[in-house]
Structure 1
Amino acid sequence: MASSSEFETNLATAKTVLRTAASVAAVAMVARSVLQDFMPPEFQELLSSGIKSFFNRFSSRMTMVIEEFDGMGSNHIYEAAEIYLGGKISPSTQRLKVSKPEKEKSFTITVERNETVVDVFNGVKFKWILVCRQVEANNGGFHNPRDLNSTLRSEVRSFELSFHKKYLDLVLKSYLPQIVSESKSVKQEKKTLKIFTVDPERLYRKNAWVPTNLDHPATFETLALDTEIKNFILEDLERFVSRKDYYRKVGKAWKRGYLLYGPPGTGKSSLIAAMANYLNFDVYDLELTELRANTDLKKLLITMANRSILVVEDIDCTVDFHDRNSAVDQSDQRQNGNKTKQLTLSGLLNFVDGLWSSCGDERIIIFTTNHKEKLDPALLRPGRMDVHVHLSYCTPCGFRLLAFNYLGIKEHALFEEIEQQIQDTEVTPAEVAEELLKSDDPDIALENLIKFMKVKKKENEEAKAEKEKEETKADKEGDEKDSTQAEPKDDQEGYAALQAET
């Protein structure tokens, strides 16, 4: 009997607790509804933040917020975390975002909004959550440069990293640096090479570099270069990319300048593509004729990515630089009382070797020209153009490589004759390659190449004779002109002498 009474008492107590909990839940729901309907969103966020802050005082957990943007620029830690967490997907993960732009090498996996990812580092558990919220453009005017619809709305994204408070030093000194380092390696492995060009219409509004996939197949194995030159360039590139600490120790910007010079068709562009493929560096193709002033150079430099190659082709004929030492015409120097903006050689030199050149790491700058002798000596000194590579006409070594690449042969009865003609004839690798392309039959292709080089040699001799004839004619005309200009001087001297005698 007592047992039955005790059971009824417990049951009544349980009912009372349930009724009370239900009442509290109902009140909470009503209060929440009232807050959402009648209180401004700013006050709701403030109240929620206050409640969280109150309870967090009694918690041993710490939350670190990593926002997508730091001011107007991207947050490097956010980008690193996004890449890093894409490789930390576990069976417990429920939602992911997968993308693959056209011509990219692999899929890109990232965390979906409000999804939780648990990571373990050095035996410590860390919890990541991607938090997203929508912000209307008319409420604060926030602009997200990654959102094409940001004129109407924008999304503010951030990662929240939660861990025990006692591991704060571990996070700042080891965990986050490890994430940055690992994400850099992953990004480099999955990277699809790009070539960037300048869009003049975007130069004064935002980043003017426009990317396109770089699918150039050139490699150092396929280049028709002498083995000695090829090995020298490879060793120089390897030494450059491995000397980050050395450059910092000696106080130099981590960059390297190359000058590629030689006749057209000798493989300057192919060498640049081979360097990009070997290093997995993006290429930035700078056309100086699209620029108006030195400030344009600075804007382009600071928006370039690290681990990249900047290329200025045909530097001798792309733009007429104002001399650093000569005075510019006053009408060009001032306009409406202000100095006219202009692109100068001094601006280019500062771009290559001045303070602005240090706004980035692990960069290679390449100038190309067909006429090295036309360049200002100031461009050629070490620190600006550190390595000068002369790409000359085809050599026997280059021919053998081309024959193997195009015809798949390493030896042939005609090789000796062809190599002898190549030594006596100025023919470019591009011309040799074009002849080898005309037939898949090695016999026919090589015979056609011999005929082509005989014609080429004759044309070169005729061109050389014509050039010598023109130079002789010019020298003769110059002598006659000097003689004619000297006659008035003699007359004046004779007249002066006659006056003296009188």
Structure 2
Amino acid sequence: MSFFSSSNLATAKTVLSAAASVAATAMVVRSVASDLLPSELRSYITNGIHSMFWRFSSEITLVIDEFDGLLNNQIYEAAETYLGAKISPNTRRLKVSKPETDTTFALTMERNESLTDVFRSMKFNWVLVCRQVESRGFHNPRDLNATMKSEVRSLELTFNKKHKDMVLQTYLPYILNEAKSMKQATKALKIFTVDYQNMYGNISDAWVGMKLDHPATFDTLAMERGAKEFVMRDLERFVKRKEYYRRVGKAWKRGYLLYGPPGTGKSSLIAAMANYLKFDVYDLELTELNANSELRRLLIAMANRSILVVEDIDCTVEFHDRRAEARAASGHNNDRQVTLSGLLNFIDGLWSSCGDERIIVFTTNHKDKLDPALLRPGRMDVHIHMSYCTPCGFRQLASNYLGIKEHSLFEKIEEEMQKTQVTPAEVAEQLLKSSHIETSLEQLIDFMRKKKETQKLEAKKKEQEAKEEQQRKEIDDGGKGEKVDSDDNNNEKKSTTT
């Protein structure tokens, strides 16, 4: 019997006819309902039908609205960033943008697009749902285009019901952390300075920032390899220990003291730290502040994940010891100046907890001039000596400026460098003077030899001055001794006469 018998064809026609009739009836009912029923009633009926089907489904859907009241929903923002990196072959449309604060393009899901994410071998289906709101009073603060002001967006996450606890306790926190790392990796760094005219206005206007495009990295720093690796390990350990700091009861911050002669790369190290961590830099000039209250306001206005820099702390007025505070306590108004105790309160006092994941960097040319209270662990946790240029530092500079790893003059340069105190900045300046490699190296050798002679003369001069000072002191002490002897003799004569 043939498969395409007349009875089978009749049955197929009957089924198709019935399906077409049902579809037509459904379209008519939908059209009539759209015209006659209020939107609220239509929504109620639709939800009822969906609920009936969902009752027999093994899946559950979480709705993540773009806003939580009038505030941005952090879960929505994080999921939007996270899903932008999950482009699948089935994705047909994506949105691309270039935020001002980022260095790369940002990809996000387009309206009503779906995407499947796999986490721990489990599939999660995401859909970006957009709908128009007819209310004229509604305004989406993230949409500035007039045609978009009535659009409401939400992400719908669908998964098996048995995974609900895992989603809430593991998957969503994972998305939050991943989005945070992704934003941090792509953001354009800024350096902030104090806006003194707006310091007492809106607290968010206390600092004014501009793009920080410093090229320094740990790969290009003219430091000993061991010192660079130590700093990188310390920074990595710091950013990973949020829960540790909370558990031990300490503010999540880290203090670094960079000390050494001028030109040894302290500012370059700060820039390398900022580039390595993707932290913004806040440059604070303490001598421009008049009171502890101003310092407090500025530090509160700083963002988290940032580096606070106070350069040349030894030159800051009345910070080298506590004598100034004693004078202030005896008669001066202590609130009209920035004091050492005021600064220490922000480093490890109660106010130090007003902010997370902050690094504080002090620089000084004279560590011995600083008050010991400023240097102890918990305030300045890591002390880094920025020394004169070493052979290792020179080779790094030669690679940076001349693009060479070896040369016949390297040995002679390193011998001279062992005998001469020359800073990395001075070496770099000599390497920049000529575009010819051999000429640059010969000029550097000549420069170090001349500087060595100059340093010898200065050392002899200081030695001679020290000898003369010692002689003057001995003469003064001898004169005082003779005067004492003379006074004693006179007293004895008076006693005898009496």
Q: TM-score, normalized by length of structure 2?
A: 0.72
Measure the CA separation in 2 of the matches of 1:251 and 1:353. 12
CA drift at 1:268: 0.7
Measure the CA separation in 2 of the matches of 1:392 and 1:487. 48
**Residue among 200, 203, 206 paired with 1:206:** 203
Paired residue for 2:449? Answer: 454
Measure the CA separation in 2 of the matches of 1:50 and 1:485. 106
In the alignment, does 2:186 pair up with 1:226?
no
In structure 2, relative to structure 1, the CA distance for the partners of 1:441 and 1:87 (3 Å cut) is closer
In the alignment, does 2:182 pair up with 1:186?
yes
| 1:4-83 pair list within 5 angstroms | 25-27=34-36, 64=63, 66=65, 68=67, 75-83=73-81
Unaligned runs of 5+ in 1: 1-13, 33-46, 334-338
Maintained 8 Å contact 1:68/1:156: no
Maintained 8 Å contact 2:191/2:280: yes
Paired residue for 1:11? Answer: none
Maintained 8 Å contact 1:131/1:160: no
Paired residue for 2:173? Answer: 177
Maintained 8 Å contact 2:191/2:212: yes
Paired residue for 1:10? Answer: none
CA drift at 1:274: 2.1
- Name the aligned partner's letter for residue 98 of structure 2: S
- Name the aligned partner's letter for residue 388 of structure 1: H
| 1:110-129 pair list within 5 angstroms | 110-111=108-109, 115=112, 117-120=114-117, 122-129=122-129
In structure 2, relative to structure 1, the CA distance for the partners of 1:275 and 1:49 (3 Å cut) is farther
CA drift at 1:124: 4.5
CA drift at 1:271: 1.5
| 1:31-430 pair list within 5 angstroms | 64=63, 66=65, 68=67, 75-88=73-86, 96=95, 98-101=97-100, 104-111=102-109, 115=112, 117-120=114-117, 122-129=122-129, 159=154, 161=156, 169-204=165-200, 205-207=202-204, 208-321=206-319, 323=322, 325-326=325-326, 328=328, 332-333=332-333, 340-430=335-425
Measure the CA separation in 2 of the matches of 1:308 and 1:16. 64
In structure 2, relative to structure 1, the CA distance for the partners of 1:18 and 1:381 (3 Å cut) is closer
Measure the CA separation in 2 of the matches of 1:64 and 1:155. 19
Matched position secondary structure for 2:328 = coil
Q: Could you give the per-residue CA deviations for residues 6-35 of structure 1, whole angstroms, max 9, x where no partner exists? A: xxxxxxxx999999987765555xx78xxx
CA drift at 1:263: 0.7
Q: Could you give the per-residue CA deviations for residues 382-425 of structure 1, whole angstroms, max 9, x where no partner exists? A: 11111111112122332233233323344444434333332222
Maintained 8 Å contact 2:140/2:152: no
Decide which moves more: 265-274 or 411-420: 411-420
In structure 2, relative to structure 1, the CA distance for the partners of 1:486 and 1:57 (3 Å cut) is farther
Measure the CA separation in 2 of the matches of 1:332 and 1:425. 47
- Name the aligned partner's letter for residue 225 of structure 1: M
Matched position secondary structure for 2:233 = helix
- Name the aligned partner's letter for residue 281 of structure 1: F
- Name the aligned partner's letter for residue 351 of structure 2: W
Matched position secondary structure for 1:235 = helix
In structure 2, relative to structure 1, the CA distance for the partners of 1:356 and 1:215 (3 Å cut) is same
Decide which moves more: 472-481 or 340-349: 472-481
In structure 2, relative to structure 1, the CA distance for the partners of 1:262 and 1:169 (3 Å cut) is same
CA drift at 1:115: 4.9
Paired residue for 1:37? Answer: none
In structure 2, relative to structure 1, the CA distance for the partners of 1:330 and 1:245 (3 Å cut) is closer
Q: Could you give the per-residue CA deviations for residues 114-158 of structure 1, whole angstroms, max 9, x where no partner exists? A: 65655556334444436798999xx89x996x8999xxxx99976
In the alignment, does 2:443 pair up with 1:444?
no
Give the RMSD, CA atoms, in angstroms.
4.9
Matched position secondary structure for 1:311 = strand
Measure the CA separation in 1 of the matches of 2:68 and 2:336. 33
Maintained 8 Å contact 1:88/1:117: no
Measure the CA separation in 2 of the matches of 1:125 and 1:464. 75
In structure 2, relative to structure 1, the CA distance for the partners of 1:58 and 1:458 (3 Å cut) is same
In structure 2, relative to structure 1, the CA distance for the partners of 1:186 and 1:21 (3 Å cut) is closer
CA drift at 1:310: 2.2
Q: Could you give the per-residue CA deviations for residues 78-121 of structure 1, whole angstroms, max 9, x where no partner exists? A: 4313312333566566573522549x532123456x65655556
Measure the CA separation in 2 of the matches of 1:196 and 1:415. 41
In structure 2, relative to structure 1, the CA distance for the partners of 1:100 and 1:71 (3 Å cut) is closer
CA drift at 1:438: 1.0
Measure the CA separation in 2 of the matches of 1:16 and 1:267. 80
Maintained 8 Å contact 2:193/2:209: yes
Q: TM-score, normalized by length of structure 1?
A: 0.72
CA drift at 1:348: 1.3
Measure the CA separation in 2 of the matches of 1:18 and 1:67. 33
Matched position secondary structure for 1:316 = helix
Matched position secondary structure for 2:326 = coil
In structure 2, relative to structure 1, the CA distance for the partners of 1:157 and 1:380 (3 Å cut) is farther
Q: Could you give the per-residue CA deviations for residues 320-350 of structure 1, whole angstroms, max 9, x where no partner exists? A: 45948525268752xxxxx845422222112
- Name the aligned partner's letter for residue 178 of structure 1: Y
**Identical-residue share of aligned pairs (%):** 51
- Name the aligned partner's letter for residue 231 of structure 2: I
